[in-house]
Chains A and B, each alone.
Chain A
Amino acid sequence: MTNNPQTAWKTPILPPPLPTEEDLPGIRPPPGNELHALAGLLKSPAHILWRIKEDDNLPVLTLQLFIWGLIFHAIYGFAMALFDSAEVAAITAGKAPLITLFATLLCLPSLYVFSCVAGLPVKITQACALAGSTVAMTGLLLLGMTPVIWLFSVSTNNLSFIVIINLVSWIVAVGFALRFFGMFGQPGINDKISGLKWWLFIYIMVSLQMATTMRPLLGKPGTGLEPVEKKFFLAHFKDTLAESGKSVSAGNQGKRR
């Protein structure tokens, strides 16, 4: 009937069909499949994002993400600090998750405000879950890099090299969190993530300063947990590299970061 030009006008013009769940793979979870937060992050990060967007039991999800993320940071911290000794590794295993936790707590208000200002209005619970996802995603990547870092930590005496390789590893891991945020751009969710990208930059700066405040991470603290000299992280980074240059020339005297 529609092929006849004289009757074609009678055929109603219908809008294209709405996309089905199959058209948007990975955004909606399979029915009845409650993935554990960690498995979700690894196998289907879009699922986690969907849960955050739908405000689906977020306190539990946030707690799971934070706990696992911090455990992974502790493991990475342990491997990293084997550069000095097992004793220092044990101390750093405790410090690394604390650095991440404090940095995240300080950055939580800015995550909430940046998201809203960028046009992605979120609730406080959703902001907490996003922060938890960042910590867990970073931790997961760091866990993957732990064997590599362990190998370098136990086989080199060059402090500068260890500082740089750890810094690069950590920034790469946080970069993956940026890709995770980028999934907001998928159809059906939201593409206003510029605020989250800026937030990640602030998070990196705060984490570096927090690590400087809680140093040393690669050497023995003086007499325990006494306050260390106050310093800006860039100044500390510069001093560490300079000190390392001297210690390399004078043997292995200056293993402190």
Chain B
Amino acid sequence: MLLKSRNLFWDRISSKHDIGSTVLYLLLFITVSSAAYGAVLAGWRSPLLSFYVAIKMPILLLGTTTLVMLLNWIFAGMTGSGLSFKQVVAITYGAMGVTCWILLSLTPVTALFTFSVASGGTHAEQQLTHNYLLMAHIILIAFAGIAGNCALKQGLDKTILHGCSARKIYWSWIASFTIVGCQLSWILRPFIGSPFYAIEFMRPDALKRNFFEFIYTDVLPYIIKGGS
């Protein structure tokens, strides 16, 4: 229904019909599809990391949406959308479901890239492979995320009360997703698996720094200095 009759899906959410079973189905689908994509994502490095990432991808996606759910409901309430908490949950997981449909459909494509690039060679070669894969996955996941965001906007347009601004709710939700998603992905790294680090479920310093601190102290100075 989410794939082929999305208007029907939003109508069901809008009329609050059978939301509980819809959400359960979505949770199951998001878990399975993101685990499949995660398994392929880290497949180039080792089967062990592939297994770890198959566990971590559903935690990342479901964790991000679950952690911001309460905040999103409050944002929606403050703008007079008339959405119940159950509806917010269903809309959020519905949008994530669209993202996961795209990730699932791209799994054969990513499998080709993962298994046709070298996992051995010199450090420089491994770093190059890692960077190429990183770039490819960023593009694919960003694309899936954009499609999910479009679905989110569409869902809000169809379910909120007339006269309420869907745009305000949408951007406040996107902001909360971004902040929480970036930090959770930082905590749960590695995903692709840098060749310079050991294979592990989480890095030992996972809870020591944060994503935004890393961007501010490491990435920005590197870019400003022109990569030197």
Evaluate contact between B132 and A206: CB separation under 8 angstroms: no
0/1 string, A187-231, CB within 8 A of B gives 1: 000000000001000100110011011000000000000000111
> At the interface, yes or no: A113 with Cβ under 8 Å from chain B?
yes
Contacts A/B (CB < 8 Å), 23 sampled? A106-B108, A109-B105, A109-B108, A110-B102, A110-B106, A112-B105, A113-B102, A117-B101, A117-B102, A119-B6, A121-B3, A121-B4, A121-B5, A202-B106, A206-B109, A206-B112, A213-B112, A230-B116, A230-B118, A230-B119, A231-B117, A235-B129, A235-B132
A212 to B116, CA, bound (A): 9
> At the interface, yes or no: B113 with Cβ under 8 Å from chain A?
yes
Chain B residues near A235: list those with CB within 8 A.
128-129, 132
Task: Find B113's partner among A107, A114, A119, A209 (CB 8 Å cutoff).
Answer: A209
> At the interface, yes or no: A234 with Cβ under 8 Å from chain B?
yes
A209 to B98, CA, bound (A): 26
> At the interface, yes or no: B147 with Cβ under 8 Å from chain A?
yes
Q: Can you name the residue of chain A whose Cβ is closest to the Cβ of B148?
A: A117
Chain A residues near B116: list those with CB within 8 A.
209, 212-213, 230-232
**8 A Cβ contacts from B95-129 to A:** 98, 101-102, 104-109, 111-113, 115-119, 128-129
Evaluate contact between A114 and B105: CB separation under 8 angstroms: yes
> At the interface, yes or no: B25 with Cβ under 8 Å from chain A?
no
- Classify the interface of chain A: helix, strand, loop or mixed: helix
A26 to chain B, nearest CB (A): 28
Evaluate contact between B3 and A117: CB separation under 8 angstroms: yes
> At the interface, yes or no: A116 with Cβ under 8 Å from chain B?
yes
Chain A residues near B106: list those with CB within 8 A.
110, 202
> At the interface, yes or no: B214 with Cβ under 8 Å from chain A?
no
Number of residues in A with C-beta < 8 Å to the partner?
26
Chain A residues near B6: list those with CB within 8 A.
119
Evaluate contact between B3 and A232: CB separation under 8 angstroms: no
Chain B residues near A106: list those with CB within 8 A.
108-109, 111-112
A119 to B8, CA, bound (A): 13
> At the interface, yes or no: B143 with Cβ under 8 Å from chain A?
yes
Evaluate contact between B143 and A116: CB separation under 8 angstroms: no
A209 to B108, CA, bound (A): 13
A213 to B112, CA, bound (A): 9
Task: Find B102's partner among A105, A114, A121 (CB 8 Å cutoff).
Answer: A114
Given A209-B116, A213-B116, 17 additional A-B pairs, CB 8 A: A106-B109, A107-B108, A112-B105, A113-B101, A113-B105, A114-B105, A117-B3, A117-B101, A121-B3, A121-B4, A198-B143, A202-B106, A205-B109, A230-B118, A230-B119, A232-B116, A235-B132
**8 A Cβ contacts from B69-102 to A:** 98, 101-102
Evaluate contact between A107 and B109: CB separation under 8 angstroms: yes
Evaluate contact between B118 and A209: CB separation under 8 angstroms: no
A213 to B113, CA, bound (A): 10
A246 to chain B, nearest CB (A): 19
**8 A Cβ contacts from B33-85 to A:** none
Evaluate contact between B143 and A209: CB separation under 8 angstroms: no
Chain A residues near B108: list those with CB within 8 A.
105-107, 109-110
